[in-house]
Copies of this chain bind each other. A is one copy, B any other.
Amino acid sequence: MDNRPIGVFDSGLGGLTAVRRLHEAMPSENIIYFGDTGRVPYGTRSPETIIRYARQDVSFLRTFELKAIVIACGTVSSVALDTLAAESDIPVIGVVWPACAQALRETRNHRVGVIGTSSTIRSGAYERMLLTARPELRVFTRACPLFVPMVENGRVQRGDVVIETLVREYLSELKGEGIDTLILGCTHYPLLRGVIASYMGDSVRLVDSGAAAADAARAMLIPAGRGRGRTRYFVSDDPASFRQLAGLFLNEQITHPAELIEISAYGA
């Protein structure tokens, strides 16, 4: 038994899709969540800035005695996982490999699509991982730069012309390539599952990268003892507005208020 909490972070709210899966699959775990809501989004920033911000995020989480860190952010996992893991003496779990492993298990026709932020797609991280594991795979990628602002504005419903138009614009090429598996390479995207699934059709399986990372954590970490674990939420901007939107991602209300921290004061 290992009752130390798991640290989870994201640029903002997206990582809560991983927290939700951790709650479901490992209800006894204590979780420390940090959402960098004062500097969201990460996916349009440069690799240098993403690494700097991610190091501060990890530094803050390491003020707690953790058993592992889950990078519940597609952008940080794609751009900074190697750096962060090399600097850490506890396991650091990103979303890229767990999502790729699930896609490799699920695809039948060996044609896999990957969508993510601009920085994620530019990094080539998913593509490289998939092709290293299975060189004969065909991988098709596409950056979807407006999905995060859409999700953060709650524009996720089918029937909304704006999101439906963007989904068609971003995904039509992948659809035309006949993929049977699509990795949602950003932890915000599961909130668009309905509209994406409706456009891509039943023949395409969607891989939720945040949930895949949570499953990887479950497979690898020594679990906590019995009893219901507690989650503490920290943010770098207004806790009240975090709480409002968090319900969308967690599909349940946060009972304890989130706590505000000054993230740029942490780390090097």
Q: Which of A43-51, A81-89, A107-115 contacts B (4 or more CB under 8 A)?
A: A43-51
- Closest chain B residue to A46 by CB distance? B238
**Chain B residues whose CB sits within 8 angstroms of the CB of A241 once the complex forms:** 46
Q: Any chain B CB within 8 A of the CB of A216?
A: no
**Chain B residues whose CB sits within 8 angstroms of the CB of A150 once the complex forms:** 146
Contact in complex: A152, B238 (CB < 8 Å): no
- Closest chain B residue to A240 by CB distance? B46
- Copies per complex of this chain: 2
Q: Any chain B CB within 8 A of the CB of A165?
A: yes
Q: Any chain B CB within 8 A of the CB of A220?
A: no
Nearest chain B CB to A114 CB, angstrom units: 20
- Proximity bits, A221-240, B CB within 8 Å = 1, else 0: 00000000000000011100
Q: Any chain B CB within 8 A of the CB of A149?
A: yes
**Chain B residues whose CB sits within 8 angstroms of the CB of A39 once the complex forms:** 38-39
Contact in complex: A238, B38 (CB < 8 Å): no
Known: A49-B237, A162-B169; 18 extra A-B contacts, CB below 8 A, are A37-B45, A38-B39, A44-B152, A45-B237, A45-B238, A46-B241, A49-B236, A49-B238, A145-B153, A146-B150, A146-B155, A146-B162, A149-B149, A161-B161, A161-B165, A162-B162, A162-B166, A264-B264
